[in-house]
Amino acid sequence: MIQSIARNPVMEGKSALRANLLASRDAQGSPADQATRNEALGRHLAEAMSRYPAVPCVGFYWPLTGEFDARDVLTIWLACKASRTAALPVVVGTHEPLAFHAWEPKAAMKTGRYRIPVPAAERVVTPELLLIPCLGFDAERYRLGYGGGYYDRTLAFWEDGRKPVTIGVAFESGRCGALPREPHDIPLDVVVTEASIY
C-alpha cells in the first residue's frame, strides 16, 4: 500500500507567494528607478541602525541578485567607530544555525555554500544586531525568505537570551497584508524599505 505524503498548506502557500514576490521584485522598473529605491533604502537602513548606537557587531548578508546591497551602509557604519565589527553569515550545515565570520570592506573572500562569498579569514563573531533579507513581510513584521530556514534556525538557537536585534531589509513590493505562518516563525524587530521604517 502506497502511503500518501502529508500536504502542508502553509508551505505550499509560502512557495506560491515566494514565486509571486520574486516576479514582482524583478519587475520593479528601470535601472535608474532601482538606483533611486536603493538610495532611499540605504538612508532608512542607516537611520534604523543609528537607533542602536551601543551595538558593537552587526551581521548582514552578501546580496543575491535583486537584493539590496548593504555593504556601503556597513562600510560607513564601521568607519564611525574603530571598535565596531561587521560579519557575514556562513552556512556550516544544511540543518544547522548560521555561523558569522568577521568582515571588513577590503576583506579577502572565498566561495562558500551555494556559491555565496564568505570571508576567507574564518574569525567567528556573534552579532548583536542582524540585518536579514526579506522577499516579503507583513504588518506584524513576519518575514518570508527563500525557504531554506537558516535564519529561523539561527534565531531559535539564540533564543537563550542572546537573540540579536533583527532588522529586515526589503522592498515595498514585498509588503503583504498577512503572511502564512508556522509555529517556529519569529517576527522581526524592525523592517526597512525604500519607503519607510516599520
Q: 11 pLDDT exceeds 70?
A: no
Longest alpha-carbon distance in the chain: 66
Q: Considering the chain, what is the average pLDDT of its residues?
A: 89
C-beta separation of 125 from 162 below 8 A: no
Q: What is the pLDDT of residues 47-57, one digit of tens each?
A: 999 999 999 99
Residue spans of the domains in the chain: they are 33-192
pLDDT tier at 6 (50, 70, 90 boundaries)?
very low
83-86-92 Cα angle (round to 5): 135
For residue 160, what pLDDT is reported?
60
Pairwise CA distance, residues 46 & 197, whole Å: 11
Q: What is the pLDDT of residues 110-160, one digit of tens each?
A: 999 989 999 999 999 999 999 999 999 999 999 998 878 889 888 888 766
Pairwise CA distance, residues 173 & 123, whole Å: 36
For residue 2, what pLDDT is reported?
38
For residue 45, what pLDDT is reported?
98
- Its pTM stands at 0.89
Alpha-carbon separation of residue 71 from 63, 75, 103, 131 (angstroms)? 9, 6, 10, 11
- Domain spanning 33-192: which superfamily? NagB/RpiA/CoA transferase-like (3.40.50.10420)
For residue 23, what pLDDT is reported?
84
Residues 6+ apart with CB under 8 A from 38: 68, 69, 194
Q: Which three cell numbers stand for residue 32?
A: 535608474
